[in-house]
Chain A
């Protein structure tokens, strides 16, 4: 019995030592380990397990494993462990007492009795928290590194691009520099050319036979050439910078300024007698740059000699005409006496010859009259005696005097006028001559059986006279010369050999002397319409 007790005592001691050994081993293991019952109750947990969970032994023992792992996950893993007996390194989440979730790598070993009954499970896990942190940190570091690399790469690329960009820009700048140099060369060349041109222009201006005055934008003299200095007997420096109004303080400028006006406006041309020995044809032309007026050019053409010649010519014509008219009048009256039978009966043949001679003489007289009128006009001696008159009877009188010719040529004639027209202040004789000239042309250059229509209208304080024919018309290329002296259109000359070419010149001068305006519309082969206006007389 004693021996038995000793054996039992030894066994008990061995068991105690074994328990200590197991506990020491169990607690020494740095891996959290626990043992759970088949009902998932924690029955044993080592020190590492308690440390990581934050629970004390009293708290952890008896706790359901589902409270410290995610329920679904642990259930699934335990089921797997029941089937396979061993589940290794499955990632799941461990929940501490503080509620902190720690990622762990969990292994489960099924514990069975020799009879195959499930006794429970051993659970052990690695804390992946740190690994995860390290992994996350590593990932972050990798990301950061990649970002840095990317940044660096971008910077590098930018640097390369920049250097390439710089190279490209340098190239561009070089090109630009070359282009600029070329431009500069061109500019220099152009400047030289411009200088040359300027010199040339200045030379031309200086040596120009006409006087030139250049006014700037503000209307002040910016340039005067020597010829103009001579005309006005001034020195350039005296007039440069002066306005046209200021120029009038120089005696020789006075008349010119009066003629031109105080302001320089548009195109202007006028003959201005500056002195007794100087007549200038003054022309002003605005100088434009695109649509902007940058100044005015005044061209002073000396027409003194031309005017003198013209005057002499006119005087010659006048004297000649006067001298011719006296014998022609004598011839006229002599021929008239013959034709009237004052000097005895004439045979038919004699009469025919004398009639032709009479008509030729008449034409000669008309021509002389025209020449005298032109001479008077040019000499400024064509005197007007305006009176207040009704234009209708004046027209009618002229028409009546041409009735015979109209009928002879079988022309249809119409005179349209309103019932009442205001009076005009006219020289009846001169206006009659003007209307006569126009009517004569309409008859002469009309075709037999044609039509003439005279109209009178009141238009804006003006009486408009028009005479429309269906004659040969005036060729387009000749139209601008219609009112010049001695002009006769070729088709007119072919049709009617007689005619001085002075009628319309005289007519124009008469109308303009009355403050009116004359113009025409014509189409060759279709006819012509002449118009003139006369201002309505102002009531006094």
Chain B
């Protein structure tokens, strides 16, 4: 995914209707800080400033709501500022649940995979986003796989990568599996009506 972050794109993304918890954007900054340090983070912030949406990650409120487009802007700025590959974007997604307060709050639902998957995972989505829906589709504990989709949510393909990483880690945390494979089998940016992920763990 090599779409260049421009002011126009930024502006367009910022027009996206729907808000996201600050924690989800903060975790991007934390990732950069942990892995590359202050200078790298400054570069990212500079990039954001360049496209007209200057933000300081440390000043964001974890539980505060921010424009949903800011999340994509954050990822694109990191990608461009630090020359990240798609895999690295996935890594940001993978790291996020490990630091997420929301996930910690939902830990109480981890005792039952089925209950968590069907009852609580849509709630988690809503804890983050004020738009879109997370729909659990299928869970096979015996064969250790699941399918889920989110719909009415067309932000940017980079967020699909981010979510792929995010779901991978979340599945690990819930199932305790050492190896988790996550594939986005359907995507609105590929002409599908919704985004669908297939999760397989061992």
Contacts and interface: CB of A to CB of B under 8 A. Distances in A.
Contact of A118 (B65, B97, B111): B111
Given A40-B176, A44-B104, A119 B64 contact: no
Contacts, number: 73
Interface string B161-193: 000000001001111101000000000000000
Nearest to A8: B65
A19 interface: yes
B9 interface: no
B115 to A, nearest CB: 10
A256 to B, nearest CB: 128
Contacts of A41: 110, 172-176
Nearest to A119: B108
A39 B174 contact: yes
Interface string B88-117: 000000110111010110011011000000
Contacts of B61: 12-13, 16
Main secondary structure of the interface of A (DSSP, over half): mixed
Interface string A1-19: 0000000000011011001
Interface in A100-158: 113, 117-120
A40 B61 CA distance: 31
Given A12-B63, A19-B63, A58-B98, A120 B173 contact: no
A57 interface: yes
B107 A43 contact: yes
Contacts of A58: 34, 94-95, 98
B36 to A, nearest CB: 14
A41 B101 CA distance: 16
Nearest to A64: B176
Contacts of A62: 98, 169, 172-173
B108 A113 contact: yes
B18 interface: no
A61 B173 contact: yes
A56 B98 CA distance: 11
Interface core residue of A15, A35, A118 (most chain B CB under 10 Å): A15
B62 interface: yes
A287 interface: no
Nearest to A42: B173
A25 to B, nearest CB: 14
Contacts of A37: 107, 110-111, 173-174, 176
A41 B98 CA distance: 11
B63 A16 contact: yes
B178 A64 contact: yes
Contacts of A43: 103-104, 107, 110, 173
16 contacts: A12-B64, A12-B65, A13-B64, A15-B63, A37-B107, A38-B110, A41-B174, A41-B175, A43-B104, A57-B99, A58-B98, A62-B172, A64-B178, A117-B111, A119-B107, A120-B107
Interface of B: 22, 34, 61-65, 94-95, 97-99, 101, 103-104, 107-108, 110-111, 169, 172-176, 178
CB-CB nearest 10 A-B residue pairs: A61-B98, A39-B176, A41-B176, A62-B172, A38-B111, A119-B108, A37-B110, A12-B63, A15-B63, A16-B61
